[in-house]
Amino acid sequence: MLLVTVGSAMAPAGTARLWYAQPAAKWEEALPVGSGRLGAMVFGRTATERIQFNEDTLWTGKPHDYVRAGSGDALPEVRKLLAEGKVKEAEALGRSRLLSDPVRQKAYQPFGDLWLDFPGHETVHDYHRELDLDRAIAVTSYRVGTVTYRREVFASHPARALIVRLSASGDGALTARIRLGSPHRDSRVAAGDDATLHLDGSVQPDGLKFAARLQVIPDGGSLRREGETWIIAGARSALLILVAETSFRSYTDITADPAQRCLDALRTLRGRTYASLQEEHTADHQQLFRRVSLALASPEAALAADARPTDVRLKEVRAGGTVVSDPSLVSLHFAYGRYLLIASSRPGSQPANLQGVWNELLDPPWESKWTTNINAEMNYWPAEVTHLTECHTPLFDLISDLVVSGARTARSLYRSRGWVLHHNTDLWRGTAPINNIDGLWPTGGAWLCHHLWEHYLFTGDRAFLAERAYPAMRDASLFFVDSLIQEPTHGWLVTSPSFSPEQGTLCIGPTMDTQLIRWLWQATVEAARQLDRDAGLVTELSGRLSRLPPPLVGQHGQLQEWLEDVDKPNNQHRHLSPLWALFPGSDIVPTDPVVFNAAKRLLTWRGDGSTGWSYAWRIPLWARVGDGDYALRQLSFLLTKRTLPNLFDLCGPFQIDGNFGATAGVAEMLLQSHQRTQDPARTVVIDLLPALPQAWPAGHATGLCARDGFVVDQEWGEGKLTRVTLTSRLGRPVVLRSRSGEVRLETRAGESVALDGSLQLIRSGTR
Ligand code: FUC
């Protein structure tokens, strides 16, 4: 019997830490820790340490319905103008009558700062700071004279707190002043009697209230209050516990008492030691993080690369213009993507927003909200395939809210059943079109539904399908049943008005919308059949599916972006909207060569990316057309042009989607499972190493997930698969495919099967 562990592989040596020989000079160089709900950026400074922190429900605004009064009355006129080809007039009317009220949504906010002053630490020796991705702890250490100082910082999901430990090697050498601050104008800091600091405030008079409490627990030495600070003197070490809460209960209720919540949170932690908090935190993190391991270089090469600080490695690949010279930097970036998702999206938290959970600005770029014409979805691309399915949950919770708030918008603006989401949402679950006419894109909700369905495909969780996924998908489908219009020339059913994100003019029926609606209706039909529900709807959707426009191939052999054949070969726009059905969708596959080749033509035209996320999207797209070298080229550009010293992705400013998109993209280069056999059984086909670039001739990838409940461990050498181990969770059949052939296997739940590089069975057994 072969024993296969699913989910406890150490990251390969040298691929699980970011480290630096100097403190962060600015926020973008600080190191992120997070518990899903809480986030913090650790600067690692010596004389004055800054730990800037966030809580994911602190936003501007208050409960609000964004639909503009009377927008539903103006919609028919906008549609009529579009049908008559009066685009400018349609845009003007759409802008003035259909957009939300107010026209912009609200912004994610910073919470506060923990400041630590260490007198005499201006000049230090042996400085080192690192982010240990395997333990999820940021560590800073240095020497002053003969004393070594060390700080450890983590955000604990189980303890709901930010934990800081200060220590000094000499007995009683630790002296520090501890302060709290906040950028919010309405905020107050006070020192409590009981070795606590209090931070209280509100974002705006009628908006969210917030409170943080810091408990100072020194070991030895003295503790004294001075004004709004506490001073530790002559201690061996100190434990600082920070809790932060807001008055947010739900998007319609902000009446919670944050100070009471803080008291309750601190009470549950009373008497806890640093060791117990740290062990609990690391165990909680590792049961997610250690499920996957990726090695793209030999252990010796990875260790040699890790001997150089992360920012130095980044500068080196930047100078060379490619990451080919440092493959283990890719493993590190991949591991970091998984780390960041664990840190910014845990059950019960808000989903990772444009900056994950990390933001120091009162006015962050694009309000640091959820942009749904690519960015929010990209954040969740790695969730299933890189074995972090639990981290997907906050997105599903968001969708549950949007089903309700989006139903109001569907009713008022479109006079339709079901629910709709346009290209952004915020903490208040805004669903109306915002900002400008490019906001008039009605398929954001359909795209989010794709995540529900993918979760079901990967996990086979029928209860999830019945209770969460299907109701949201059915209602999203109903919205399009009611709201599509008949296109005049062919009578196709299309969206109107719409916009192909984020280019062109206001239009009807852009390709992306049709792809999303086709996918949504097909999946809804499939789900209804599996659940044996809503036979009438199944008939109705099946009938309507044939009335959607077919994929249109234009004069240059390209997949058209619009109903008209107007694509320009030199258009290198950052968005890749008409390629949605190639990735993340999966309706464009090589078994339909005409459309597949047309999609490839369009992808080729689009050239290299520009923003971080636009490079990142190109990685899985090129992987889906089987070109690993071109996928790696995009990853190289991402790492050499759009990556900060702390490996955060840059859109223009920091934006986390590129981190997540690249992580998912690398997984897609190594493993794909979106195709099925053509026979009625529709058996899942798992493609092994489908887009391995020449630059990664040897390596291993363990713990990646495939649809229908498989976990796949692969090893390769000289550019060829040498061994694969497949663990089946659901006992489904599977076709395994590699460049050397394919094999069909029946499996039993819990069984693991090992095959050699020619897909010959080595052995099988039950875990
Ligand atoms: C979309 C993109 C922008 C940016 C913004 C948050 O509008 O086109 O590049 O990523 O979202």
With a 6 Å cutoff on the Cβ, whether 355 touches ligand 1 is: no
- Residues 636, 321: contact at Cβ < 8 Å? yes
- How deeply is 747 buried, as exposed, middle or buried, from its count of CB atoms within 10 A (0-12, 13-18, 19+)? buried
The residues facing 704 across adjacent strands are 712
| pLDDT of 4 strictly over 50 | no
For the chain, how far is it from start to end, CA to CA, in angstroms? 8
669-715 tens-digit pLDDT: 999 999 999 999 999 999 999 999 999 999 999 999 999 999 999 99
| pLDDT of 5 strictly over 80 | no
- The CATH T-level fold of domain 71-106+337-575+645-668 is Glycosyltransferase (1.50.10)
Rounded to the nearest angstrom, the distance between the alpha carbon of 422 and the centre of ligand 1 is: 14
pLDDT at residue 437, rounded to an integer? 97
With a 6 Å cutoff on the Cβ, whether 611 touches ligand 1 is: yes
Q: Counting atoms of ligand 1 from 1, which one is nearest the CA of 575?
A: 8
> By alpha-carbon position, which residue is closest to atom 8 of ligand 1?
502
Closest CA to 448 of 468, 428, 427: 468
> By alpha-carbon position, which residue is closest to atom 4 of ligand 1?
651
Rounded to the nearest angstrom, the distance between the alpha carbon of 766 and the centre of ligand 1 is: 47
Q: Counting atoms of ligand 1 from 1, which one is nearest the CA of 613?
A: 10
pLDDT band at 3 (very low <50, low <70, confident <90, very high): very low
Rounded to the nearest angstrom, the distance between the alpha carbon of 657 and the centre of ligand 1 is: 10
pLDDT at residue 9, rounded to an integer? 76
For domain 17-59+107-289, give its CATH number from 2.60.40.2300, 2.70.98.50, 3.30.70.580, 3.30.450.20: 2.70.98.50
With a 6 Å cutoff on the Cβ, whether 407 touches ligand 1 is: no
pLDDT at residue 14, rounded to an integer? 83
Domain range summary for the chain, segments of one domain joined by +: 17-59+107-289, 71-106+337-575+645-668, 684-766
Q: Counting atoms of ligand 1 from 1, which one is nearest the CA of 438?
A: 7
pLDDT at residue 171, rounded to an integer? 87
Please give the radius of gyration of the chain, using alpha carbons only, rounded to the nearest integer. 26
| pLDDT of 256 strictly over 80 | yes
| pLDDT of 15 strictly over 70 | yes
Average of per-residue pLDDT values in the chain? 97
- Residues 233, 222: contact at Cβ < 8 Å? yes
With a 6 Å cutoff on the Cβ, whether 375 touches ligand 1 is: yes
SS3 167: strand
With a 6 Å cutoff on the Cβ, whether 377 touches ligand 1 is: no
Tell me the residue length of the chain. 767
Pocket test for ligand 1, best of 105, 368, 375 (most atoms within 8 A of CB): 375
With a 6 Å cutoff on the Cβ, whether 616 touches ligand 1 is: no
pLDDT at residue 767, rounded to an integer? 57
Rounded to the nearest angstrom, the distance between the alpha carbon of 98 and the centre of ligand 1 is: 21
With a 6 Å cutoff on the Cβ, whether 371 touches ligand 1 is: yes
Q: Counting atoms of ligand 1 from 1, which one is nearest the CA of 651?
A: 10
pLDDT at residue 709, rounded to an integer? 98
Which CATH code is given to the segment(s) 684-766?
A: 2.60.40.1180
Pocket test for ligand 1, best of 354, 369, 371 (most atoms within 8 A of CB): 371
pLDDT at residue 470, rounded to an integer? 98
Decide: pTM greater than 0.95: yes
With a 6 Å cutoff on the Cβ, whether 176 touches ligand 1 is: no
- Residues 447, 372: contact at Cβ < 8 Å? yes
- E strand or H helix that includes residue 108: none
Closest CA to 616 of 571, 666, 570: 666
Closest CA to 599 of 608, 610, 611, 590: 590
Kind of pairing between the strands at 503-507 and 222-226: unpaired
Place of tokens 């003019």: 505
Same fold, 17-59+107-289 and 71-106+337-575+645-668: no
- Residues 500, 440: contact at Cβ < 8 Å? no
356-385 tens-digit pLDDT: 999 999 999 999 999 999 999 999 999 999
Pocket test for ligand 1, best of 423, 502, 656 (most atoms within 8 A of CB): 502
422-452 tens-digit pLDDT: 999 999 999 999 999 999 999 999 999 999 9
With a 6 Å cutoff on the Cβ, whether 366 touches ligand 1 is: yes
> By alpha-carbon position, which residue is closest to atom 11 of ligand 1?
371
| pLDDT of 44 strictly over 60 | yes
Rounded to the nearest angstrom, the distance between the alpha carbon of 572 and the centre of ligand 1 is: 15
Q: Which two structure tokens, joined as six digits, stand for 571?
A: 């258009």
| Phi and psi based region of residue 172 (left: phi greater than 0; alpha: psi -120 to 50; beta: remaining) | left
Rounded to the nearest angstrom, the distance between the alpha carbon of 255 and the centre of ligand 1 is: 33
With a 6 Å cutoff on the Cβ, whether 55 touches ligand 1 is: no
Rounded to the nearest angstrom, the distance between the alpha carbon of 507 and the centre of ligand 1 is: 20
pLDDT at residue 527, rounded to an integer? 98
625-676 tens-digit pLDDT: 999 999 999 999 999 999 999 999 999 999 999 999 999 999 999 999 999 9
**DSSP per-residue string spanning 19-68:** EESS--SSGGGSEEEE-SSEEEEE---SSEEEEEEEETT-BSS-S---PP
Mean pLDDT of 286-308: 96
With a 6 Å cutoff on the Cβ, whether 43 touches ligand 1 is: no
Kind of pairing between the strands at 684-688 and 734-738: parallel
What percentage of the chain carries pLDDT values higher than 70?
99
pLDDT at residue 764, rounded to an integer? 79
| pLDDT of 6 strictly over 70 | no
What percentage of the chain carries pLDDT values higher than 90?
97
725-763 tens-digit pLDDT: 999 999 999 999 999 899 999 999 999 999 999 999 998
pLDDT at residue 7, rounded to an integer? 56
pLDDT band at 765 (very low <50, low <70, confident <90, very high): confident
Closest CA to 170 of 200, 150, 190: 150
HEC-encoded secondary structure of 589-653: CCCCHHHHHHHHHHHHHHCCCCCHHHHHHHHHHHHHCCCHHHHHHHHHHHHHHCECCCCCEECCC
Residues 6+ apart with CB under 8 A from 448: 372, 376, 377, 395, 398, 399, 402, 421
With a 6 Å cutoff on the Cβ, whether 441 touches ligand 1 is: no
Q: Counting atoms of ligand 1 from 1, which one is nearest the CA of 657?
A: 10
What CA–CA distance (Å, rounded) separates 354 from 651? 10
pLDDT at residue 2, rounded to an integer? 32
Residues 6+ apart with CB under 8 A from 532: none
Rounded to the nearest angstrom, the distance between the alpha carbon of 441 and the centre of ligand 1 is: 14
Q: Counting atoms of ligand 1 from 1, which one is nearest the CA of 611?
A: 9
Q: Is the torsion defined by CA of 522, 524, 525, 530 positive or negative? A: positive
